[in-house]
Structure 1
Amino acid sequence: MGRSNRAGRARPADGPPADATTQDPGGRSHAQGPLVHPVDSGTAELRPDRDRPRGWELFLDGAPQSLVDLDDPAHLGFEYQRRIGHLVDLAAPPGRPIGVLHLGGGALTLARYVAATRPRSRQQVAEIDTALTELVRAQLPLERGWQIRVRGADARSVLERAPEGAADLVIVDVFSGARVPAHCATTEFAALAARALAPGGRLVANIADGSALAFARAQTATLLAVFPEVCLVADPAVLRGKRFGNLVLVAATTPIPIDELGRRVASDSALGRIEHGRGLVDFTAGASPLTDASAVPSPAPPPGVFR
């Protein structure tokens, strides 16, 4: 779940009937308009991107989820995905293959980015909505040769079975509706991710919050209880509680390249701020880590936030 870099683009579903899925895979033109289709988690809609001839934006129950450009899989149109893209870029020297475990798949935008920028990378994706995956594969097909394996299973169950020490990156972008589920927001979940990471690997998690940022503060405290190195990247307005939005958390057992990450975030068109060290501890404001016994889902987005 995220926000594109062009404000006000999200709108209620207004596309063709749900059975309008007979177009040639990957060959839909913008003249054909949006495509609306029921999936396991609700209603998915693919809307044409107004600036890219083969760009499509995925919405789930009206919430913007991701954007895919079939002509340019390295294009990341959402702020939070560009920030995660910076962590992909910093995971190893340019072009070197890496191992990535994606928890949450959606339109497979980030998996496409890894495959395009780091050929021969080994990627596994956990996406519980198998109907959504089928829709994405049919309408936004992956390129041949990409080593992307998608499993139709709950993210945490896949993480529990992940090989120990095999992933250079664990990317967590798990939403049930527009909320992060409680069982993917605990110290036990973070410990499983730490176990799956190779030496020097990093956990990167996308969450959403607003107002007092109680969930974001608790998530920060949760990761600090498991990892010695944690930082947070978000729009300054989100960090001030002025609007609901995405926050990207990064956790590792080795130092995070804060200076280089900061330079890349500063080069983005959207404003971004990094909290780390003392500033991040202050951000938690005494929040306690969440456990399987105490966790709650992230807050629901305010009404109209995607309009």
Structure 2
Amino acid sequence: MTSHEFLPGAQRSAQLSFSDQPAWIVKDEVVGGWVLQIGGVEQSHVDLEDPTRLVHEYLRRMGNVLDAAWPAGQPLRIAHLGAGALTLARYVQATRPGSEQVVIEIERELPTLVTTALPMPEGTRLEVVIGDAREELAAMTGRRFDALVLDVFSGEESPAHLATEDFYLEALDHLEPDGLLLVNVGDDAGQRFLRRQVRALEDAAARAGLSGVWTLTLASLLTAPADGNMVLIAGGALSSPEVDTWRAAWEKAGPHPGAVLDPTETAEAFGR
């Protein structure tokens, strides 16, 4: 092993035991920074020099949600279900130093690969839990978070036991009364999986006595469905009298052209 392989940002790889896929950290020659690839598909982008730079548009929207819903700089307790390259965890540390974060990741080798090749910002307080997201979250009896980020869904190949109303209800139960659940849903042009997730989250929120589901996405996906990602959000925070102010901030922050749908608009867009 040569000395450069120990340097932050050096290209590295690992074989993932759960999915039996190769994972690579490679330099992004187009926009700069580094990319996590799994099975040859880009999963995450990291800018070591500027962790607040979120290249993937759905992550930028998630960052915008967190930015508006709590005072700037206030540390948060956040759980990330699905690690990727820990891009959003890096963002939270950079914008809210002192935040307590936990990540649940089923691929045992992935967090080590990521944090070795792409070290976390100084001072990051990150607990890594290896295992199934639903099982490990259930084991955190009585533990509550300000925000819970679910980033494991990719259309019909998503883990079936996570794509359910009951799991959403379990996740909502781990939030503080003014907390937020943020869900990234990737789907193909048919949006069948997305529609099922909207309905499941709506039903879970109703059972929890919460208001409905908000949606943040690329505006064109609502009028000309194509492959893409949408961010669904639910939780007690959305009952805040500040939610209209937050909506204006989310719309202004983009990425553009973006769309922000309230619960009524979400229900209308996805068949309820």
Give the TM-score normalised by structure 1. Answer: 0.78
Match of 2:232 in 1: 249
Aligned residue runs from structure 1 range 70-109, under 5 A = 70-109=48-87
Decide whether the 8 Å contact of 2:75 with 2:96 is kept in 1. Answer: yes
In structure 1, the partner of 2:5 is 23
Residues 1:258 and 1:155: Cα distance change in structure 2 (over 3 Å): farther
Verify: 1:240 aligned to 2:226, yes or no: no
Q: Identify the range of structure 1 (207-216 vs 251-260) with the bigger mean alpha-carbon deviation.
A: 251-260
Contact 2:187 2:194 in 1 (8 A): yes
Cα distance in 1, alignment partners of residues 186 and 57 from structure 2: 12
CA contact (8 A) 2:79 2:147 kept: yes
What's the counterpart of residue 24 of structure 2? 45
Aligned 8 A contact 1:156 1:184 in 2: yes
Moved over 6 A (4+): 19-22
User: Structure 2 CA distance, aligned partners of 1:213 and 1:181?
Assistant: 17
**CA offsets, 1:264-302, max 9 Å, x none?**
34433442112223221212315xxxxxxxxxxxxxxxx
What are the ranges of 5 or more consecutive residues in structure 1 without an aligned counterpart?
1-18, 29-33, 287-307
Using a 3 Å threshold, how does the CA distance of structure 1 residues 61 and 100 change in structure 2: closer, same or farther? same
Contact 1:83–1:265 under 8 Å retained in 2: no
Deviation at 1:163, TM superposition (A): 4.2
TM-score (normalizing by structure 2): 0.87
CA shift for structure 1 position 27:
4.8
Choose from 92, 101, 104 the match for 1:123: 101
- % identical equivalent positions: 34
Q: Determine if contact 1:67/1:76 at 8 Å carries over to the other structure.
A: yes
SS at match of 2:89: helix
Aligned-pair distance for 1:262?
Answer: 4.1
Matched, 1:167 2:145: yes
In the aligned structure 2, how far is the partner of 1:232 from the partner of 1:92? 19
Distance 1:159 1:276 in 2: 28
- Does residue 202 of structure 1 match 2:202? no
Question: Relative to 1, partners in 2 of residues 1:234 and 1:87: Cα closer, same or farther, differing over 3 Å?
Answer: same
Distance 1:262 1:218, change over 3 A: farther
Higher deviation after alignment, 111-120 or 249-258: 249-258
Q: Deviations over 1:154-184 (max 9, x none)?
A: 1111221234362000100014799421111
More deviation, 159-168/122-131:
159-168
Could you tell me how far 1:198 is from its partner in structure 2? 0.4
Q: How many equivalent residue pairs?
A: 262
2:126 is aligned to 148
Q: Is the 8 A contact 2:212 2:234 kept in 1?
A: yes
**Aligned partner of residue 201 in structure 1, secondary structure:** strand
Shift of 1:117: 0.6
For 1:163 and 1:262, the matched residues in 2 are separated by 36
- AA paired with 2:152? V
Question: Considering only aligned residues, what root-mean-square deviation do their CA atoms show, in Å?
Answer: 2.4
CA gap 1:137/1:25 in 2 versus in 1, 3 angstroms: farther
Which 5+ residue runs of structure 2 have no aligned equivalent?
A: 206-210
> For residues 127 and 258 of structure 1, do their structure 2 counterparts lie closer, same or farther at Cα, with a shift above 3 Å needed?
farther
Deviation, 1:118, is 0.5
